[in-house]
Amino acid sequence: MNKFHTPKSSMEEMWKLIVELFPIHRTLVNDGFKNSLEIIKRKLDITILEYDSGMEVWDWIIPNAWNVREAYIKDSTGNRIVDFNNNNLHLAPYSAPFSGKLTKSELLKHIWTLPDDPGSIPYRTLYYKTDDWKFCIAHNDLRLFNDSEAYDVCIDIDSKPGKLCIGEYYLPGKTEKEILITSYLCHPSLANDNLSGVAVAVEIMKNLAAIDNRRYSYRLLVVPECIGATTYLATHEDQLHKIVGGYILTCCGDDGIVTYKKTYSGNSVIDKAAVHVLKNKYQDSSFNEYDFWPNGSDEQRYNAPGVRLDVGSFMRTPYSEFAEYHTSKDNLSFISKEKLFDTLDSILRTLYVIDNDEILNNNYKGEPFLTKHGIYQSTDLRKPDKQSICYIQRTLMMELDGLNSLLDIADKWNYSFDDVYDVSREFLESGLVRIVESK
């Protein structure tokens, strides 16, 4: 049972948000990014943090704002054969401005295509470069160009100092220790990578806000990938000790099975809870459990030297393992409401385990007389059911010694966390055990 209940209404809520955000042109620092945060703010009352272009954040510098006024390639008849207005993937983000007439061979040096997927427009960027420009087009569209013609190229860019924006939402709990939920919003019209992660993250916070008595505090960060996470970390160094760990969400809506990518340390409560929940939810083992690898999304920044926060990653098919990744085929038809909901449900179940995991210590010596405490359950000793309450009671009598958490005990004995937690309430309410502060 999912005790951080996932309401069915979340399915439509996530979908509506993705549909609304999909057409907007976003990049690291631009109007589209801020406008997208404003749309999210109507669903969840996030705070929009702003940081100036040019600001040094550890080893990095926040780039200028980059907004596209117009970008196209026109043939000699005045026909726009490539136009940013038709698809915002057509211009590589942070391309330099340009205006001029070029031959086909000159132009081809500034065009990226996907020869092995000729119908798709690639998504590639020119972040942190200043002197090049590239159009991204479907390989099939190269036939629109011929050798005898000259083409008018226009890349009209408004590039000037602006504000890097981060969407933040904080939910206080009983303790200041916090769990981080984060995703990135800097991609233009792509659905699985990255809008699916943002929609699930926002919905997590909306659901958590409706739950009473949360132990942990929760913080949502919606950032431009890499530079946004680095900016937040560099400007909140004195706060980072409060973070127990968290999850970055990406590629949450495709048809693949759920993947959990572990933290750098690999054995934190963040990892144990995620793997425990996925094992119990998908009894047929139809999920992926991957060790940390050092090429990915913002888990790279959170787990990096000098930071070393236990941030794992929930996704379905990992980025770069699906053919549609970073192409125009990663659109609304590539994701589904049902898979978004399934991912959301898996993460809320995981957060429930983390929020309720605790260490209990015995107030008794030897074997307690459960009948006296009104909680004894009998079992047929000839055919003992190892998943029965009776068996879990006997396990807890042996294990509740102030050393191992309920999740550790559940994993050791192959029980679900929920069953162990429920039986442990009987022990607690009868005064047989007491709560030890969580590690």
Q: For residues 404, 410, 413 and 416, what is the CA-based torsion angle, rounded to 10 degrees?
A: 170
**DSSP single-letter state for residue 256:** S
Contact status: 330 vs Zn ion (CB under 5 A)? no
Nearer to Zn ion, 261 or 272 (CB): 261
Q: How far is the CB of 326 from Zn ion (least distance, A)?
A: 6
Q: How many other C-beta atoms lie within 10 A of the C-beta of residue 69?
A: 11
Rounded to whole angstroms, what are the CA distances from 196 to 10, 18, 108, 280, 382?
13, 7, 33, 24, 51
Q: How near is the Cβ of 187 to Zn ion at its closest, in Å?
A: 6
Q: In this complex, which beta carbon is closest to Zn ion, that of residue 193 or of residue 345?
A: 193
- Among 3-11, 192-200, 359-367, 413-421, which window interacts with Zn ion (CB under 5 A)? 192-200
Report the distance separating Cα 115 and Cα 68, nearest Å: 27
356 neighbors 348 (Cβ within 8 angstroms) = no
In contact, 107 and 127? CB cutoff 8 Å: no
Q: Tell me whether residue 13 or residue 298 sits nearer to Zn ion (CB atom).
A: 298
Which one of the spans 46-54, 155-163, 187-195, 288-296 is the region binding Zn ion (CB under 5 A)? 187-195
**DSSP secondary structure letters along 32-82:** HHHHHHHHHHTTS--EEEEEETT-EETTEEPPPEEEEEEEEEE-TTS-EEE
Among 193, 271, 342, 411, binds Zn ion (CB under 5 A): 193
Judged by CB under 5 A, the stretch of 188-196, 274-282, 299-307, 426-434 that binds Zn ion is 188-196
Q: Nearer Cβ to Zn ion, position 10 or 95? A: 95
Q: Which of 184, 352 has the CB closer to Zn ion?
A: 184
The residue whose two tokens read 């162990």 is: 420
Between 18 and 269, whose beta carbon lies closer to Zn ion?
18
**With the C-alpha atoms ordered 49, 201, 187, 302, is the resulting torsion angle positive or negative?**
positive
Question: Could you tell me the smallest distance in angstroms from the CB atom of residue 361 to Zn ion?
Answer: 47
**148 DSSP assignment:** T
Which uninterrupted H or E stretch holds 98?
Answer: strand 98-103
Residues with Cβ within 8 Å of 438's Cβ and at least 6 positions away in sequence, in order, are 215, 357, 358, 359, 405
Size, binding site for Zn ion by CB under 5 A = 1
Kindly tell me which of 151 and 325 has the beta carbon lying closer to Zn ion: 325
> What are residue 160's DSSP bridge partners?
65
Least distance (Å) between residue 63 CB and Zn ion:
17
User: Per CB under 5 A, does 298 bind Zn ion?
Assistant: no
CB of 427 to Zn ion, least distance (A): 48
Q: Which is nearer to Zn ion, 124 or 242 (CB)?
A: 124
Structural contact between residues 256 and 316, judged by C-beta atoms closer than 8 angstroms: yes
Residue whose pair of structure tokens reads 């309410």 in the numeric block = 429
Q: Dihedrals φ, ψ of 217, to 5°?
A: -85, 155
Which residues ranging from 133 to 162 are in contact with Zn ion (CB under 5 A)? Answer: none
Least spacing, CB of residue 297 vs Zn ion, in Å:
8
Q: Closest separation between CB of residue 288 and Zn ion, Å?
A: 19
Closer to Zn ion at the Cβ: 192 or 268? 192
CB of 104 to Zn ion, least distance (A): 30
Pick 193 or 357: Cβ nearer Zn ion: 193
State the nearest-atom distance from the C-beta of 127 to Zn ion, in Å. Answer: 12
Whether 53 contacts 163, CB under 8 Å: yes
Provide long-range contacts, Cβ within 8 A and 24+ apart, for 405-413: 405/269, 405/357, 405/358, 405/359, 405/438, 405/439, 406/356, 406/357, 406/358, 406/359, 406/360, 407/269, 407/272, 407/273, 407/276, 407/353, 407/357, 408/272, 410/276, 411/272, 411/276
Q: Does 324 bind Zn ion (CB under 5 A)?
A: no
Residues 105-134 that bind Zn ion (CB under 5 A): none
Return the range that interacts with Zn ion (CB under 5 A); candidates 10-18, 139-147, 186-194, 395-403: 186-194
Residue 183 CB, nearest approach to Zn ion (Å):
11
Residue showing tokens 């160094």: 237
Q: Near Zn ion by CB under 5 A, which window of 43-51, 193-201, 338-346, 368-376?
A: 193-201
Tokens of 80: 């726009």
Pick 193 or 411: Cβ nearer Zn ion = 193
Q: Which is nearer to Zn ion, 127 or 364 (CB)?
A: 127
User: In the numeric block, which tokens belong to residue 4?
Assistant: 């951080």
Residue nearest to Zn ion (CB): 193
Binding segment for Zn ion among 166-174, 191-199, 360-368, 430-438 (CB under 5 A)? 191-199
Least CB distance from residue 193 to Zn ion, whole Å? 4
Chain contacts with Zn ion (rule: CB under 5 A): 193
